[in-house]
A and B are shown apart, each in its own frame.
Chain A
Protein backbone atom coordinates (compact mmCIF):
# COMPACT_ATOMS: atom_id res chain seq x y z
CA UNK A 1 0.00 0.00 0.00
CA UNK A 2 2.83 2.33 0.83
CA UNK A 3 4.53 1.49 -2.43
CA UNK A 4 1.48 2.29 -4.46
CA UNK A 5 0.91 5.57 -2.66
CA UNK A 6 4.57 6.37 -3.20
CA UNK A 7 4.22 5.63 -6.89
CA UNK A 8 1.10 7.77 -6.92
CA UNK A 9 2.95 10.55 -5.21
CA UNK A 10 5.82 10.38 -7.71
CA UNK A 11 3.39 10.26 -10.58
CA UNK A 12 1.47 13.23 -9.25
CA UNK A 13 4.61 15.28 -8.82
CA UNK A 14 5.78 14.27 -12.21
CA UNK A 15 2.48 15.23 -13.69
CA UNK A 16 2.37 18.57 -11.89
CA UNK A 17 5.92 19.29 -13.01
CA UNK A 18 5.15 19.21 -16.69
CA UNK A 19 1.49 20.02 -16.48
CA UNK A 20 2.06 23.77 -16.24
CA UNK A 21 4.01 24.33 -19.49
CA UNK A 22 1.88 21.74 -21.26
CA UNK A 23 -1.30 23.50 -20.27
CA UNK A 24 0.08 26.85 -21.33
CA UNK A 25 0.99 25.45 -24.74
CA UNK A 26 -2.43 23.88 -25.00
CA UNK A 27 -4.10 27.20 -24.19
CA UNK A 28 -1.95 28.99 -26.77
CA UNK A 29 -2.84 26.40 -29.35
CA UNK A 30 -6.52 26.73 -28.51
CA UNK A 31 -6.39 30.51 -28.75
CA UNK A 32 -4.68 30.48 -32.10
CA UNK A 33 -7.15 27.90 -33.36
CA UNK A 34 -10.09 30.02 -32.18
CA UNK A 35 -8.64 32.97 -34.05
CA UNK A 36 -7.97 31.01 -37.23
CA UNK A 37 -11.50 29.59 -37.21
CA UNK A 38 -13.07 32.95 -36.51
CA UNK A 39 -11.05 34.32 -39.43
CA UNK A 40 -12.95 32.01 -41.77
CA UNK A 41 -15.90 34.37 -41.46
CA UNK A 42 -13.79 37.36 -42.47
CA UNK A 43 -14.01 37.11 -46.29
CA UNK A 44 -17.80 37.06 -46.17
CA UNK A 45 -17.91 39.84 -43.60
CA UNK A 46 -15.53 41.97 -45.66
CA UNK A 47 -17.73 41.57 -48.72
CA UNK A 48 -20.91 42.50 -46.83
CA UNK A 49 -19.13 45.34 -45.07
CA UNK A 50 -17.67 46.79 -48.25
CA UNK A 51 -20.63 46.36 -50.60
CA UNK A 52 -23.65 46.79 -48.32
CA UNK A 53 -22.69 48.50 -45.07
CA UNK A 54 -20.12 51.11 -46.14
CA UNK A 55 -22.48 52.74 -48.67
CA UNK A 56 -25.21 52.88 -46.03
CA UNK A 57 -22.87 54.70 -43.66
CA UNK A 58 -22.09 57.00 -46.57
CA UNK A 59 -25.81 57.63 -47.20
CA UNK A 60 -26.22 58.40 -43.50
CA UNK A 61 -23.49 61.01 -43.80
CA UNK A 62 -24.98 62.43 -47.01
CA UNK A 63 -28.37 62.88 -45.34
CA UNK A 64 -26.83 65.56 -43.10
CA UNK A 65 -24.90 67.36 -45.82
CA UNK A 66 -25.77 70.25 -48.06
CA UNK A 67 -22.77 71.20 -50.11
CA UNK A 68 -20.08 71.15 -47.46
CA UNK A 69 -22.31 72.17 -44.55
CA UNK A 70 -23.97 70.19 -41.83
CA UNK A 71 -27.75 70.47 -42.17
CA UNK A 72 -31.10 69.06 -41.11
CA UNK A 73 -32.84 70.42 -44.19
CA UNK A 74 -33.30 67.00 -45.81
CA UNK A 75 -35.11 65.78 -42.72
CA UNK A 76 -37.14 68.97 -42.41
CA UNK A 77 -38.32 68.47 -45.97
CA UNK A 78 -39.76 65.08 -44.96
CA UNK A 79 -42.44 66.95 -42.99
CA UNK A 80 -43.90 68.14 -46.29
CA UNK A 81 -47.41 66.70 -46.96
CA UNK A 82 -46.12 64.67 -49.96
CA UNK A 83 -43.92 62.66 -47.66
CA UNK A 84 -46.27 62.43 -44.68
CA UNK A 85 -48.95 61.15 -47.05
CA UNK A 86 -46.50 58.58 -48.42
CA UNK A 87 -45.67 57.51 -44.89
CA UNK A 88 -49.36 57.13 -44.13
CA UNK A 89 -49.94 55.03 -47.28
CA UNK A 90 -46.93 52.88 -46.45
CA UNK A 91 -48.18 52.14 -42.94
CA UNK A 92 -51.80 51.62 -44.04
CA UNK A 93 -50.77 49.14 -46.71
CA UNK A 94 -48.35 47.35 -44.36
CA UNK A 95 -51.01 47.01 -41.62
CA UNK A 96 -53.66 45.86 -44.05
CA UNK A 97 -51.42 43.29 -45.73
CA UNK A 98 -50.23 41.97 -42.36
CA UNK A 99 -53.82 41.68 -41.10
CA UNK A 100 -54.97 39.78 -44.20
CA UNK A 101 -51.91 37.53 -43.95
CA UNK A 102 -52.89 36.65 -40.36
CA UNK A 103 -56.51 36.00 -41.37
CA UNK A 104 -55.52 33.70 -44.25
CA UNK A 105 -52.24 32.35 -42.89
CA UNK A 106 -53.32 31.25 -39.42
CA UNK A 107 -56.07 28.85 -40.59
CA UNK A 108 -53.79 27.49 -43.33
CA UNK A 109 -50.88 26.90 -40.97
CA UNK A 110 -53.28 25.33 -38.47
CA UNK A 111 -54.69 23.04 -41.15
CA UNK A 112 -51.20 21.94 -42.23
CA UNK A 113 -50.21 21.28 -38.61
CA UNK A 114 -53.24 19.02 -38.10
CA UNK A 115 -53.11 16.71 -41.13
CA UNK A 116 -51.01 13.56 -41.56
CA UNK A 117 -47.24 14.22 -42.00
CA UNK A 118 -47.17 13.05 -45.62
CA UNK A 119 -50.01 15.37 -46.63
CA UNK A 120 -48.52 18.17 -44.52
CA UNK A 121 -45.25 17.81 -46.45
CA UNK A 122 -47.12 18.15 -49.74
CA UNK A 123 -49.16 21.16 -48.58
CA UNK A 124 -45.98 22.80 -47.31
CA UNK A 125 -44.46 22.31 -50.75
CA UNK A 126 -47.41 24.23 -52.21
CA UNK A 127 -46.70 27.07 -49.76
CA UNK A 128 -43.01 27.02 -50.71
CA UNK A 129 -43.67 27.06 -54.45
CA UNK A 130 -44.53 30.80 -54.58
CA UNK A 131 -41.40 31.62 -52.55
CA UNK A 132 -39.25 29.94 -55.19
CA UNK A 133 -41.17 31.55 -58.05
CA UNK A 134 -39.78 34.81 -59.37
CA UNK A 135 -41.30 37.91 -57.83
CA UNK A 136 -41.77 39.45 -61.27
CA UNK A 137 -43.54 36.37 -62.59
CA UNK A 138 -46.05 36.62 -59.75
CA UNK A 139 -46.57 40.36 -60.30
CA UNK A 140 -47.04 39.68 -64.00
CA UNK A 141 -49.60 36.98 -63.20
CA UNK A 142 -51.62 39.46 -61.13
CA UNK A 143 -51.35 42.13 -63.81
CA UNK A 144 -52.82 39.67 -66.28
CA UNK A 145 -55.52 38.45 -63.88
CA UNK A 146 -56.62 41.83 -62.59
CA UNK A 147 -56.57 43.95 -65.73
CA UNK A 148 -59.78 45.48 -67.06
CA UNK A 149 -60.46 42.67 -69.53
CA UNK A 150 -58.57 40.24 -67.31
CA UNK A 151 -59.51 36.80 -66.08
CA UNK A 152 -61.02 37.91 -62.77
CA UNK A 153 -63.22 40.58 -64.31
CA UNK A 154 -64.46 38.34 -67.14
CA UNK A 155 -65.28 35.51 -64.72
CA UNK A 156 -67.13 37.84 -62.39
CA UNK A 157 -69.10 39.20 -65.34
CA UNK A 158 -69.88 35.74 -66.70
CA UNK A 159 -71.22 34.74 -63.31
CA UNK A 160 -73.39 37.85 -63.34
CA UNK A 161 -71.91 39.24 -60.14
CA UNK A 162 -70.92 42.55 -61.71
CA UNK A 163 -72.15 44.54 -64.69
CA UNK A 164 -69.14 46.63 -65.54
CA UNK A 165 -65.52 45.53 -65.07
CA UNK A 166 -64.05 46.55 -61.71
CA UNK A 167 -60.89 48.58 -61.37
CA UNK A 168 -58.69 46.01 -59.71
CA UNK A 169 -55.17 47.09 -60.58
CA UNK A 170 -53.09 50.23 -60.72
CA UNK A 171 -54.65 51.14 -57.39
CA UNK A 172 -54.63 50.26 -53.70
CA UNK A 173 -56.73 47.09 -54.17
CA UNK A 174 -54.39 45.56 -56.73
CA UNK A 175 -51.33 46.42 -54.69
CA UNK A 176 -52.86 44.83 -51.58
CA UNK A 177 -53.75 41.61 -53.43
CA UNK A 178 -50.28 41.35 -54.95
CA UNK A 179 -48.52 42.07 -51.66
CA UNK A 180 -50.60 39.52 -49.72
CA UNK A 181 -49.68 36.93 -52.33
CA UNK A 182 -45.97 37.69 -51.87
CA UNK A 183 -46.05 37.88 -48.05
CA UNK A 184 -48.42 35.03 -47.11
CA UNK A 185 -45.75 32.27 -47.13
CA UNK A 186 -43.63 34.33 -44.70
CA UNK A 187 -46.59 34.24 -42.29
CA UNK A 188 -47.45 30.56 -42.79
CA UNK A 189 -43.94 29.11 -42.46
CA UNK A 190 -43.00 30.43 -38.97
CA UNK A 191 -46.57 29.81 -37.75
CA UNK A 192 -46.48 26.21 -38.95
CA UNK A 193 -43.05 25.61 -37.40
CA UNK A 194 -44.37 26.75 -34.02
CA UNK A 195 -47.69 24.91 -34.26
CA UNK A 196 -45.97 21.64 -35.16
CA UNK A 197 -43.97 21.73 -31.96
CA UNK A 198 -47.03 22.32 -29.73
CA UNK A 199 -47.57 19.22 -27.62
CA UNK A 200 -50.95 17.64 -28.40
CA UNK A 201 -51.21 16.42 -24.80
CA UNK A 202 -52.05 19.96 -23.73
CA UNK A 203 -55.16 19.93 -25.90
CA UNK A 204 -56.09 16.50 -24.54
CA UNK A 205 -55.59 17.77 -21.01
CA UNK A 206 -57.80 20.78 -21.70
CA UNK A 207 -60.53 18.48 -23.05
CA UNK A 208 -60.19 16.23 -19.99
CA UNK A 209 -60.60 19.22 -17.73
CA UNK A 210 -63.87 20.00 -19.45
CA UNK A 211 -62.94 22.65 -21.99
CA UNK A 212 -65.02 22.67 -25.15
CA UNK A 213 -63.01 22.34 -28.40
CA UNK A 214 -63.42 26.04 -29.09
CA UNK A 215 -62.35 27.01 -25.60
CA UNK A 216 -59.35 24.65 -25.70
CA UNK A 217 -58.30 26.12 -29.03
CA UNK A 218 -58.48 29.75 -27.90
CA UNK A 219 -57.28 29.15 -24.36
CA UNK A 220 -54.46 26.70 -24.98
CA UNK A 221 -53.49 26.34 -28.63
CA UNK A 222 -53.55 29.98 -29.70
CA UNK A 223 -51.38 31.31 -26.83
CA UNK A 224 -48.87 28.51 -27.47
CA UNK A 225 -48.66 29.57 -31.12
CA UNK A 226 -47.85 33.21 -30.26
CA UNK A 227 -44.08 32.95 -30.90
CA UNK A 228 -44.69 31.87 -34.49
CA UNK A 229 -47.45 34.43 -34.93
CA UNK A 230 -45.25 37.27 -33.68
CA UNK A 231 -42.37 36.13 -35.88
CA UNK A 232 -44.69 36.06 -38.91
CA UNK A 233 -46.16 39.49 -38.13
CA UNK A 234 -42.71 41.05 -37.75
CA UNK A 235 -41.29 39.49 -40.89
CA UNK A 236 -44.30 40.47 -43.00
CA UNK A 237 -44.65 43.97 -41.59
CA UNK A 238 -40.97 44.84 -41.90
CA UNK A 239 -40.77 43.45 -45.44
CA UNK A 240 -43.90 45.45 -46.40
CA UNK A 241 -42.45 48.71 -45.07
CA UNK A 242 -39.52 48.63 -47.49
CA UNK A 243 -41.20 46.84 -50.38
CA UNK A 244 -40.69 48.26 -53.84
CA UNK A 245 -41.40 45.95 -56.77
CA UNK A 246 -45.07 45.01 -56.28
CA UNK A 247 -46.37 48.50 -55.40
CA UNK A 248 -44.40 49.95 -58.30
CA UNK A 249 -45.94 47.52 -60.79
CA UNK A 250 -49.44 46.89 -59.43
CA UNK A 251 -49.90 50.38 -58.00
CA UNK A 252 -49.34 51.92 -61.41
CA UNK A 253 -47.96 55.11 -59.87
CA UNK A 254 -51.12 55.71 -57.83
CA UNK A 255 -49.89 54.02 -54.68
CA UNK A 256 -46.86 55.90 -53.45
CA UNK A 257 -44.73 53.91 -51.02
CA UNK A 258 -41.77 55.16 -49.02
CA UNK A 259 -39.39 53.00 -51.08
CA UNK A 260 -40.74 54.52 -54.30
CA UNK A 261 -40.02 58.03 -53.04
CA UNK A 262 -36.42 56.93 -52.47
CA UNK A 263 -36.18 55.53 -56.01
CA UNK A 264 -37.72 58.70 -57.49
CA UNK A 265 -35.34 61.01 -55.71
CA UNK A 266 -32.38 59.03 -57.04
CA UNK A 267 -33.49 58.34 -60.63
CA UNK A 268 -35.47 61.46 -61.51
CA UNK A 269 -33.97 64.17 -59.33
CA UNK A 270 -30.51 62.77 -58.46
CA UNK A 271 -31.30 64.23 -55.05
CA UNK A 272 -29.06 62.17 -52.82
CA UNK A 273 -29.75 64.29 -49.76
CA UNK A 274 -33.49 63.60 -49.86
CA UNK A 275 -33.05 59.97 -50.89
CA UNK A 276 -30.63 59.24 -48.07
CA UNK A 277 -32.76 61.03 -45.47
CA UNK A 278 -35.73 58.92 -46.61
CA UNK A 279 -33.55 55.83 -46.44
CA UNK A 280 -32.28 56.61 -42.96
CA UNK A 281 -35.85 57.07 -41.71
CA UNK A 282 -36.91 53.76 -43.29
CA UNK A 283 -33.97 51.93 -41.75
CA UNK A 284 -34.60 53.56 -38.36
CA UNK A 285 -38.27 52.47 -38.42
CA UNK A 286 -37.31 48.93 -39.39
CA UNK A 287 -34.66 48.62 -36.69
CA UNK A 288 -36.92 50.22 -34.08
CA UNK A 289 -39.66 47.66 -34.75
CA UNK A 290 -37.20 44.76 -34.68
CA UNK A 291 -35.56 46.06 -31.52
CA UNK A 292 -38.88 46.73 -29.78
CA UNK A 293 -40.27 43.32 -30.54
CA UNK A 294 -36.90 41.74 -29.82
CA UNK A 295 -37.05 43.21 -26.31
CA UNK A 296 -40.62 42.00 -25.95
CA UNK A 297 -40.33 38.36 -27.02
CA UNK A 298 -36.62 37.65 -27.50
CA UNK A 299 -34.74 38.16 -30.74
CA UNK A 300 -33.85 34.48 -31.21
CA UNK A 301 -37.46 33.66 -31.82
CA UNK A 302 -37.74 36.10 -34.71
CA UNK A 303 -34.51 35.07 -36.37
CA UNK A 304 -34.97 31.37 -35.73
CA UNK A 305 -38.62 31.50 -36.68
CA UNK A 306 -39.39 28.52 -34.50
Chain B
Protein backbone atom coordinates (compact mmCIF):
# COMPACT_ATOMS: atom_id res chain seq x y z
CA UNK B 1 0.00 0.00 0.00
CA UNK B 2 2.65 2.50 1.05
CA UNK B 3 4.82 1.63 -1.94
CA UNK B 4 2.03 2.36 -4.38
CA UNK B 5 2.49 5.55 -6.40
CA UNK B 6 0.05 8.20 -5.23
CA UNK B 7 0.37 10.71 -8.05
CA UNK B 8 1.25 11.19 -11.66
CA UNK B 9 4.71 12.20 -10.56
CA UNK B 10 5.32 8.83 -8.89
CA UNK B 11 5.46 9.85 -5.25
CA UNK B 12 4.55 6.81 -3.16
CA UNK B 13 1.99 6.89 -0.37
CA UNK B 14 4.87 6.16 2.01
CA UNK B 15 6.75 9.22 0.81
CA UNK B 16 3.69 11.28 1.51
CA UNK B 17 3.07 9.94 4.97
CA UNK B 18 4.06 13.28 6.51
CA UNK B 19 1.36 14.99 4.43
CA UNK B 20 -1.33 12.61 5.70
CA UNK B 21 -0.16 13.05 9.28
CA UNK B 22 0.06 16.85 9.08
CA UNK B 23 -3.30 17.12 7.29
CA UNK B 24 -4.92 14.80 9.82
CA UNK B 25 -3.54 16.74 12.77
CA UNK B 26 -4.68 20.04 11.25
CA UNK B 27 -8.20 18.64 10.80
CA UNK B 28 -8.18 17.46 14.43
CA UNK B 29 -7.10 20.96 15.46
CA UNK B 30 -10.08 22.34 13.54
CA UNK B 31 -12.83 20.11 14.89
CA UNK B 32 -11.70 18.64 18.19
CA UNK B 33 -11.85 21.74 20.44
CA UNK B 34 -15.52 22.39 19.70
CA UNK B 35 -16.45 18.72 20.09
CA UNK B 36 -14.62 18.49 23.41
CA UNK B 37 -17.14 20.96 24.84
CA UNK B 38 -19.92 18.36 24.51
CA UNK B 39 -18.65 15.87 27.15
CA UNK B 40 -17.58 18.77 29.37
CA UNK B 41 -21.14 20.08 29.43
CA UNK B 42 -22.21 16.87 31.20
CA UNK B 43 -19.58 17.25 33.92
CA UNK B 44 -20.72 17.48 37.53
CA UNK B 45 -17.79 19.69 38.49
CA UNK B 46 -17.37 23.45 38.32
CA UNK B 47 -13.81 22.92 37.15
CA UNK B 48 -13.73 21.86 33.56
CA UNK B 49 -11.27 18.98 33.81
CA UNK B 50 -11.15 16.38 31.08
CA UNK B 51 -12.29 13.66 31.38
CA UNK B 52 -14.97 14.96 33.79
CA UNK B 53 -14.78 13.45 37.29
CA UNK B 54 -18.49 12.61 37.24
CA UNK B 55 -21.53 13.04 35.06
CA UNK B 56 -24.60 15.18 35.57
CA UNK B 57 -27.04 17.41 33.71
CA UNK B 58 -26.83 20.21 36.28
CA UNK B 59 -25.53 22.76 33.76
CA UNK B 60 -28.46 22.08 31.46
CA UNK B 61 -30.79 22.56 34.43
CA UNK B 62 -28.97 25.78 35.28
CA UNK B 63 -29.52 26.94 31.70
CA UNK B 64 -33.19 26.03 31.46
CA UNK B 65 -33.94 27.38 34.95
CA UNK B 66 -32.39 30.78 34.34
CA UNK B 67 -35.01 33.12 32.92
CA UNK B 68 -32.40 35.50 31.46
CA UNK B 69 -30.80 32.70 29.44
CA UNK B 70 -34.23 31.54 28.25
CA UNK B 71 -35.22 35.08 27.26
CA UNK B 72 -31.93 35.62 25.46
CA UNK B 73 -32.36 32.34 23.57
CA UNK B 74 -35.90 33.25 22.52
CA UNK B 75 -34.67 36.68 21.45
CA UNK B 76 -31.85 35.25 19.35
CA UNK B 77 -34.10 32.75 17.58
CA UNK B 78 -36.78 35.36 16.87
CA UNK B 79 -34.18 37.75 15.45
CA UNK B 80 -32.53 34.96 13.41
CA UNK B 81 -35.86 33.84 11.91
CA UNK B 82 -36.91 37.37 10.94
CA UNK B 83 -33.43 38.11 9.58
CA UNK B 84 -33.59 34.94 7.51
CA UNK B 85 -36.94 35.92 5.95
CA UNK B 86 -35.95 39.53 5.18
CA UNK B 87 -32.45 38.88 3.89
CA UNK B 88 -33.41 35.86 1.78
CA UNK B 89 -36.23 37.79 0.12
CA UNK B 90 -34.24 40.98 -0.51
CA UNK B 91 -31.03 39.15 -1.42
CA UNK B 92 -32.67 36.76 -3.90
CA UNK B 93 -34.63 39.60 -5.50
CA UNK B 94 -31.46 41.66 -5.86
CA UNK B 95 -29.41 38.76 -7.24
CA UNK B 96 -32.12 38.03 -9.83
CA UNK B 97 -32.45 41.68 -10.81
CA UNK B 98 -28.71 42.18 -11.16
CA UNK B 99 -28.32 38.99 -13.17
CA UNK B 100 -31.10 39.67 -15.68
CA UNK B 101 -30.88 43.45 -16.02
CA UNK B 102 -28.49 44.80 -18.59
CA UNK B 103 -28.16 48.05 -16.70
CA UNK B 104 -24.69 49.55 -16.37
CA UNK B 105 -25.29 49.94 -12.65
CA UNK B 106 -25.39 46.24 -11.81
CA UNK B 107 -21.60 46.05 -11.38
CA UNK B 108 -21.70 48.96 -8.98
CA UNK B 109 -24.71 47.50 -7.18
CA UNK B 110 -22.95 44.16 -6.73
CA UNK B 111 -19.87 45.88 -5.31
CA UNK B 112 -22.10 47.84 -2.90
CA UNK B 113 -23.71 44.61 -1.71
CA UNK B 114 -20.26 43.28 -0.82
CA UNK B 115 -19.35 46.27 1.35
CA UNK B 116 -20.74 44.92 4.66
CA UNK B 117 -18.38 41.94 4.25
CA UNK B 118 -15.35 44.11 3.53
CA UNK B 119 -15.86 46.84 6.13
CA UNK B 120 -14.51 45.70 9.52
CA UNK B 121 -17.32 44.49 11.79
CA UNK B 122 -16.39 46.77 14.68
CA UNK B 123 -16.79 49.84 12.46
CA UNK B 124 -20.23 48.77 11.26
CA UNK B 125 -21.16 48.04 14.87
CA UNK B 126 -20.29 51.47 16.26
CA UNK B 127 -21.85 53.12 13.19
CA UNK B 128 -25.15 51.34 13.73
CA UNK B 129 -24.96 52.11 17.46
CA UNK B 130 -24.55 55.81 16.65
CA UNK B 131 -27.39 55.76 14.12
CA UNK B 132 -29.76 53.85 16.41
CA UNK B 133 -29.01 56.18 19.31
CA UNK B 134 -30.52 58.97 17.22
CA UNK B 135 -33.41 56.88 15.87
CA UNK B 136 -34.25 55.26 19.21
CA UNK B 137 -33.68 51.79 17.73
CA UNK B 138 -31.10 50.59 20.26
CA UNK B 139 -32.31 47.60 22.28
CA UNK B 140 -35.25 46.89 19.96
CA UNK B 141 -36.06 43.77 17.94
CA UNK B 142 -36.53 45.87 14.80
CA UNK B 143 -33.08 47.36 15.21
CA UNK B 144 -31.42 43.98 15.72
CA UNK B 145 -33.18 42.39 12.74
CA UNK B 146 -32.33 45.28 10.40
CA UNK B 147 -28.67 45.25 11.48
CA UNK B 148 -28.38 41.46 11.14
CA UNK B 149 -30.08 41.60 7.73
CA UNK B 150 -27.41 44.00 6.51
CA UNK B 151 -24.79 41.38 7.42
CA UNK B 152 -26.76 38.46 5.93
CA UNK B 153 -27.88 40.01 2.60
CA UNK B 154 -24.36 39.97 1.05
CA UNK B 155 -24.05 36.24 1.74
CA UNK B 156 -27.48 35.55 0.20
CA UNK B 157 -26.53 37.63 -2.86
CA UNK B 158 -23.26 35.71 -3.34
CA UNK B 159 -24.88 32.28 -3.05
CA UNK B 160 -27.91 33.01 -5.24
CA UNK B 161 -25.90 34.97 -7.84
CA UNK B 162 -23.48 32.06 -8.19
CA UNK B 163 -26.37 29.68 -8.81
CA UNK B 164 -27.61 31.94 -11.63
CA UNK B 165 -24.24 31.56 -13.35
CA UNK B 166 -24.99 27.92 -14.07
CA UNK B 167 -28.68 28.50 -14.84
CA UNK B 168 -29.86 28.87 -18.42
CA UNK B 169 -31.97 32.03 -18.54
CA UNK B 170 -33.42 30.94 -21.91
CA UNK B 171 -35.75 28.66 -19.97
CA UNK B 172 -37.46 31.70 -18.53
CA UNK B 173 -37.57 33.24 -22.00
CA UNK B 174 -39.39 30.14 -23.29
CA UNK B 175 -41.93 30.37 -20.49
CA UNK B 176 -42.54 34.01 -21.30
CA UNK B 177 -42.87 33.40 -25.03
CA UNK B 178 -45.56 30.88 -24.09
CA UNK B 179 -47.45 33.62 -22.30
CA UNK B 180 -46.16 33.63 -18.71
CA UNK B 181 -45.51 37.01 -17.16
CA UNK B 182 -41.99 37.62 -15.86
CA UNK B 183 -42.87 37.21 -12.17
CA UNK B 184 -44.83 34.05 -12.93
CA UNK B 185 -41.98 32.67 -15.06
CA UNK B 186 -39.54 33.41 -12.24
CA UNK B 187 -41.72 31.72 -9.61
CA UNK B 188 -42.63 28.62 -11.59
CA UNK B 189 -39.58 28.03 -13.79
CA UNK B 190 -36.51 29.69 -12.32
CA UNK B 191 -37.10 29.55 -8.57
CA UNK B 192 -37.74 25.77 -8.41
CA UNK B 193 -34.41 25.19 -10.16
CA UNK B 194 -32.33 27.43 -7.92
CA UNK B 195 -34.18 26.51 -4.73
CA UNK B 196 -31.21 24.55 -3.37
CA UNK B 197 -29.09 27.70 -3.34
CA UNK B 198 -31.91 29.84 -1.99
CA UNK B 199 -32.53 27.45 0.92
CA UNK B 200 -28.79 27.20 1.66
CA UNK B 201 -28.63 30.99 1.61
CA UNK B 202 -31.57 31.18 4.03
CA UNK B 203 -29.87 28.77 6.44
CA UNK B 204 -26.65 30.74 6.22
CA UNK B 205 -28.58 33.96 6.93
CA UNK B 206 -30.17 32.28 9.96
CA UNK B 207 -26.85 31.13 11.43
CA UNK B 208 -25.24 34.49 10.64
CA UNK B 209 -27.81 36.25 12.77
CA UNK B 210 -27.74 33.60 15.49
CA UNK B 211 -23.94 33.82 15.81
CA UNK B 212 -23.54 37.56 15.34
CA UNK B 213 -21.59 39.01 18.29
CA UNK B 214 -20.02 42.42 17.71
CA UNK B 215 -23.08 44.39 16.57
CA UNK B 216 -25.25 42.75 19.23
CA UNK B 217 -22.77 43.83 21.91
CA UNK B 218 -23.58 47.43 21.08
CA UNK B 219 -27.23 47.45 20.08
CA UNK B 220 -28.87 44.51 21.87
CA UNK B 221 -28.92 45.32 25.55
CA UNK B 222 -31.36 45.31 28.42
CA UNK B 223 -34.24 42.88 28.08
CA UNK B 224 -33.49 42.53 24.36
CA UNK B 225 -30.06 40.98 24.96
CA UNK B 226 -29.28 38.22 22.50
CA UNK B 227 -27.76 34.89 23.45
CA UNK B 228 -24.37 35.83 22.01
CA UNK B 229 -24.26 39.06 23.98
CA UNK B 230 -25.02 37.28 27.25
CA UNK B 231 -22.48 34.58 26.43
CA UNK B 232 -19.79 37.15 25.60
CA UNK B 233 -20.30 38.99 28.87
CA UNK B 234 -20.35 35.73 30.84
CA UNK B 235 -17.11 34.62 29.15
CA UNK B 236 -15.36 37.86 29.99
CA UNK B 237 -16.06 37.38 33.68
CA UNK B 238 -15.55 33.67 34.34
CA UNK B 239 -15.66 30.30 32.64
CA UNK B 240 -19.13 29.28 33.74
CA UNK B 241 -19.93 25.64 32.79
CA UNK B 242 -23.51 26.70 31.93
CA UNK B 243 -21.98 28.03 28.74
CA UNK B 244 -20.74 24.52 27.94
CA UNK B 245 -24.37 23.39 27.96
CA UNK B 246 -25.44 26.29 25.73
CA UNK B 247 -22.44 25.68 23.46
CA UNK B 248 -23.41 22.03 23.06
CA UNK B 249 -26.88 23.05 21.95
CA UNK B 250 -25.43 25.59 19.49
CA UNK B 251 -23.01 22.96 18.11
CA UNK B 252 -25.92 20.59 17.52
CA UNK B 253 -27.79 23.35 15.66
CA UNK B 254 -24.69 24.02 13.53
CA UNK B 255 -24.27 20.33 12.69
CA UNK B 256 -27.98 20.09 11.86
CA UNK B 257 -27.95 23.13 9.55
CA UNK B 258 -24.66 22.13 7.88
CA UNK B 259 -26.02 18.61 7.37
CA UNK B 260 -29.18 20.07 5.85
CA UNK B 261 -27.20 22.07 3.27
CA UNK B 262 -25.23 18.94 2.37
CA UNK B 263 -28.41 16.86 1.95
CA UNK B 264 -29.89 19.56 -0.26
CA UNK B 265 -26.85 19.50 -2.51
CA UNK B 266 -27.14 15.77 -2.92
CA UNK B 267 -30.87 15.74 -3.68
CA UNK B 268 -31.64 14.27 -7.14
CA UNK B 269 -32.71 17.52 -8.83
CA UNK B 270 -29.54 19.24 -7.77
CA UNK B 271 -28.07 22.28 -9.44
CA UNK B 272 -24.50 21.70 -10.46
CA UNK B 273 -22.63 24.20 -8.36
CA UNK B 274 -20.42 26.41 -10.50
CA UNK B 275 -16.88 25.20 -10.86
CA UNK B 276 -17.83 21.83 -9.38
CA UNK B 277 -15.93 19.26 -11.45
CA UNK B 278 -14.56 21.41 -14.26
CA UNK B 279 -15.23 20.03 -17.70
CA UNK B 280 -12.18 18.81 -19.62
CA UNK B 281 -12.38 21.82 -21.88
CA UNK B 282 -12.32 24.23 -18.97
CA UNK B 283 -9.35 22.62 -17.32
CA UNK B 284 -7.47 22.54 -20.60
CA UNK B 285 -7.92 26.28 -20.82
CA UNK B 286 -6.84 26.90 -17.25
Q: Is B189 an interface residue (CB 8 A)?
A: no
A134 touches B210 (CB 8 A): yes
What are the residues of chain A within 8 A of B8 when measuring CB–CB? 200, 203-204, 207
Q: Is B55 an interface residue (CB 8 A)?
A: no
Among B102, B123, B278, point to the contact of A282 (Cβ < 8 A). B123
B109 touches A151 (CB 8 A): no
Among A55, A135, A149, A244, point to the contact of B130 (Cβ < 8 A). A55
B33 touches A206 (CB 8 A): no
B94 touches A44 (CB 8 A): yes
Residue on B nearest A112 in the bound complex, by CB: B23
Shortest beta-carbon distance from A137 to chain B in Å:
4
B109 touches A45 (CB 8 A): yes
B123 touches A136 (CB 8 A): no
What are the residues of chain A within 8 A of B33 when measuring CB–CB? 138, 141-142, 145, 181
B30 touches A44 (CB 8 A): no
Tell me the number of A-to-B contacts counted with CB atoms below 8 Å. Answer: 287
With A and B bound together, what is the CA distance between A129 and B256 in angstroms?
A: 10
What are the residues of chain B within 8 A of A151 when measuring CB–CB? 36, 48-50
Q: Is A272 an interface residue (CB 8 A)?
A: yes
The interface size of chain B toward A, counting residues with CB under 8 Å, comes to 93
Among A123, A147, A193, point to the contact of B275 (Cβ < 8 A). A193
Among B10, B47, B119, B232, point to the contact of A149 (Cβ < 8 A). B47
B27 touches A126 (CB 8 A): yes
Q: Is A273 an interface residue (CB 8 A)?
A: no
What are the residues of chain A within 8 A of B231 when measuring CB–CB? 136, 140
Interface string of A27-69 (1 = CB under 8 A from B): 0001001110111110111011101111110110000000000
Residue on A nearest B33 in the bound complex, by CB: A141
When A132-B207, A140-B37 are in contact, do A51 and B123 touch as well, CB less than 8 Å?
Answer: no
With A and B bound together, what is the CA distance between A193 and B277 in angstroms?
A: 10
When A137-B247, A262-B123 are in contact, do A51 and B103 touch as well, CB less than 8 Å?
Answer: no
Within 8 A of B (CB), among A285-306: 286-287, 290, 303, 306
B123 touches A40 (CB 8 A): no
Residue on A nearest B218 in the bound complex, by CB: A266
B9 touches A217 (CB 8 A): yes
Q: Is A150 an interface residue (CB 8 A)?
A: yes
Q: Is A166 an interface residue (CB 8 A)?
A: no
When A38-B106, A185-B30, A213-B11 are in contact, do A290 and B127 touch as well, CB less than 8 Å?
Answer: no
Shortest beta-carbon distance from B260 to chain A in Å:
10
With A and B bound together, what is the CA distance between A143 and B101 in angstroms?
A: 50
Q: Interface residue tally of chain A, by bracket? A: 35 or more
Q: Is A279 an interface residue (CB 8 A)?
A: yes
When A141-B247, A143-B235 are in contact, do A213 and B255 touch as well, CB less than 8 Å?
Answer: no
With A and B bound together, what is the CA distance between A56 and B129 in angstroms?
A: 11
A132 touches B254 (CB 8 A): yes
When A41-B98, A266-B126 are in contact, do A108 and B116 touch as well, CB less than 8 Å?
Answer: no
Shortest beta-carbon distance from B11 to chain A in Å:
5
B239 touches A141 (CB 8 A): no
Q: Is A10 an interface residue (CB 8 A)?
A: no
Q: Is A93 an interface residue (CB 8 A)?
A: no
Q: Is B122 an interface residue (CB 8 A)?
A: yes
Q: Is B26 an interface residue (CB 8 A)?
A: yes
What are the residues of chain B within 8 A of A184 when measuring CB–CB? 26, 29-30
